[in-house]
Structures are given as C-alpha cells and as structure tokens.
Amino acid sequence: MKNGEFPGMHPASAMDYLPVAQLREVQFARLKETVRRAYENVALFRKRMDERRLKPSDLRRIEDVVKLPFMVKTDLRDNYPFGLFACPMREIVRFHASSGTTGKPIVVGYTQEDLDDWSRAMMRSFAACGVHRGDIVQNAYGYGLFTGGLGAHYGAEALGAAVIPVSVGNTDRQIMIMKDFGATVICCTPSYFLHLVDRAAELGVDLRKLPLRIGVFGAEPWTEDMRQRIEAAGGIRAFDIYGLSEIAGPGVAMECTHQAGPHIFEDLFYPEIIDPETLELLPDGTEGELVLTALCKRAMPMIRYRTRDITALEPARCACGRTLRRIRRIGRRSDDMLIVRGVNLFPSQIEAALLKVEGTLPHYQIVVDRMKGLDTLEVQVEVTAEVLSDTVGGLEQLRAQLGRAIESVTGLHPSLRLVAPRTLQRSEGKARRVIDKRVL
C-alpha cells in the first residue's frame, strides 16, 4: 500500500450497499418524480403517454416502468437541439454532445443538480475500483463535447484525487507526464491504452515499472483478451466503466475490484433488458438490449432509453456485497452488426481472429463496400515490427493466415490488406473500426 494508507469504504459508496427492498423504494420515488416532470414539460413524452392513455399517477410500483414508452436515439436527433429539455435555459449549466446516427450530433443538457449526481456516480465508480485520495489520475479521455473528459474529471476531483487533465492525444507527452508525475490511475479508451503501451516500448519506457496501478477503461467495447493483455503489458489492473451521454456520461456502471462486470448505479439509473425484436422485458441472466431510465435527470429526462447495447443483468450477487446489479461485458450492440453477403458480422469476431494469429491485437479497420452488386469485405491490418518479415513470402504468409483466421470465425472470405503502422484513422482515441461505404 502506497503511503501506508488503508482506505475504507468511501462515504459516497454507501448507496452501493442499500438493501434491495429499500433500493426499489428509492427507485420508485425517483421514477415517479421524473415521469411527472417529463409529462409536464416534454411534448414528445406527453404525446406518447397520452397515446397509451397513461398518466404519471398510473405508476404504482417500480415494475410498472414497463408500461412507459421507449425513447430511442432518433428521438434526440428529431428534437435537435433542445426539444427534449424539461427545464428553462436559465437552469441549464452544461451541454454535451455525441455523434448521432446521421448528420447532426445529439445534444444533452444538465442542470447543476444533474452534474452533481453525475459527479457522485463517477466518484463512486472510482471508489469501487480502489481509487482514493492521494491517487494521481491521468485523465486521457477527451475534454470537450464528449462526456468522457469532464465526467471523469469532476468525479475524480470530488473523490479528492489529484487530476491531470491531459485529455486525449499527444502520446509522447502522455508518457512523459505519466512518468514524471507518477500517475497511479489512467482513464482512457482501452485501444488508446494499448497504443500508449506500444509507444512507450518504442521510447524505451516500461509502464510496468511506473507507479501506475489502475486503468479505468471505457467508451468502446473491449474483450477479456484485451484486459489480460493490458494488465500484463501495463502492470496494472484494468476496469470496465460503462456510460453513455444520453443518460449522463461515463459512470452509469462500473466494475468493482472483483472485475466481474460493471455494477449499475441503480439508485440513479434503472436498468431493464428487453428483446430488441419483440420489446418484451427479459428476466435477469438473459441476454438482450439494455434499456436505461435516468431516475434523477432534471434537464433532460431519459425514460426507457434503448441503448442498443447487448448484455445481460447478472442474476447473482457480486462477492463485493453491493446490491447493485451488474451487466455482462458488452461485446456488441444491436446496431453494430454488419450484414455482409448475407452473413452477420461483428467487429469483435474479426478482432478475435487477428488476436489469435498475431498474439497481440494490431490496429485494424474493416471496410465494407459494394461492387457490381456484390458486397466486398476488406480488412486492413497495420504491420508491426513483431510480425514483419524480411521476405515477401513471409508477409504473404501472414496475410494468408490472417485471412484464413477471419474466414474460420466469420464464414466470410475477406480481402486482407497489410498497411504501414499508424496509417489507420483514430479519432478521439477511439479506434474507428468499421467503414461501411455501401449505399443500401
């Protein structure tokens, strides 16, 4: 233990252990209030309630949430920018935005109380994975319209940790600061951390020898294989944080030190799993689409928001004793599935194949196009020094191996292209994995 500290449970984490019956009461009281506010102030919500002949007073217990209408991402787009706000502008203190399904971004607003709730959720997130006062948090999430940067920033500050607001990018400077400041916690996307690891090795810096001990990784799906690689290469423990700007930002759910899937902060965010086809509620333990209701959001009530993330609520209680349910690792979304030549394709499948051949995950990009009526699938893979051969034959063999591995996982024969290091696009530290050029 550094500095001889033995941090106990953080006071903010007390809500994590609320007995279930009490938790349901808290959820219900907050749901009722949020539904009432939305009904009175948001035209779209009122219209949908009226269509169902529902009044906020029809809610009798938390389970009645299933009677309420869903919200989807296109609702935010259609009501761009402020159409879903439930309070006047003088109460709004912050905006964030994220990429929408088409063209315009989606915009979210926060009152001061919303920001305070979100900060507390992030504070509990950090506390859950063992971050405490005295830690030095290198926050490499992007600051700006993206919720990652400011969300992690305020949460870490609220906890009393020392924050380095370095934001995303400038990898060499990240490594220098990490080393010189003695950062103990890093927040970024898992793919960016792997990039940091690679770059550090090029610069002769061994991250395992630095004080860094915890990584808070989110904003993109990742795998257990990646966790193992990150932990081995970084000499840290890697935790999965989950969130989305529509609901708040990062800190909707976070893994505890048992690393058994992110706990949802259920007193703030009510989770359901539905069948994305029939929209029926599914029991805990069954895989389906995650639907979230922000129980306290004042500026922009989000009720039964369809996240498109495919997961399941773990039925078993976590060994940590939290009463908060956990979500399983999100490997895919109900909308990141590509259909290529009639075959369902998930980027995570390609990732698994590349990892199997190369041992480590290279940067890659999937390009789907359509030529003369036929879908084409090209996988571009960056060549690293580790797999480079001095002969054309060696590289052709690597190419063939990668192609075969992808084919065996997906059933699709890709055209595989080897490209030079760092030529594939990375935006906001978030790797852009799929480019679908088809006009369908």
Partner 1 sequence: MRWKQLSVFLENKPGALSEPCRLLAGAQINIRTFSLADTREFGILRMVVDDPDKARRLLRRHGFAVRVNDVLVIEVPDRPGELAAILDGLDGSGINVKYGYGFTVDGQGKGVLVFAFDDPDKALSILKKKRVAAGLKGGR
Q: Which residues of this chain interact with partner 1, rule CB under 8 A?
A: 202-203, 383-385, 388-392, 395-396, 417-423
Shortest CB 427 distance to partner 1, Å:
18
Shortest CB 205 distance to partner 1, Å:
12
Q: Which one, 89 or 385, has the nearer CB to partner 1?
A: 385
Shortest CB 429 distance to partner 1, Å:
17
8 A C-beta contact, residue 124 and residue 265 = yes
Q: Which one, 128 or 383, has the nearer CB to partner 1?
A: 383
Q: How far apart are CA 315 and CA 180, in angstroms?
A: 44
Shortest CB 203 distance to partner 1, Å:
7
Shortest CB 233 distance to partner 1, Å:
17
Q: Which one, 43 or 388, has the nearer CB to partner 1?
A: 388
Q: Which one, 75 or 198, has the nearer CB to partner 1?
A: 198
Q: Which one, 171 or 245, has the nearer CB to partner 1?
A: 171
Shortest CB 307 distance to partner 1, Å:
36
Q: Which one, 300 or 354, has the nearer CB to partner 1?
A: 354
Q: How far apart are CA 365 and CA 417, in angstroms?
A: 10
Q: Which one, 236 or 379, has the nearer CB to partner 1?
A: 379
Residue that is written with structure tokens 């009432």 in the block: 36
Shortest CB 340 distance to partner 1, Å:
21
Q: Which one, 78 or 396, has the nearer CB to partner 1?
A: 396
* One-letter amino acid for residue 401 of the chain: Q
Q: How far apart are CA 382 and CA 423, in angstroms?
A: 7
Shortest CB 385 distance to partner 1, Å:
5
Q: Which one, 89 or 420, has the nearer CB to partner 1?
A: 420
Shortest CB 435 distance to partner 1, Å:
18
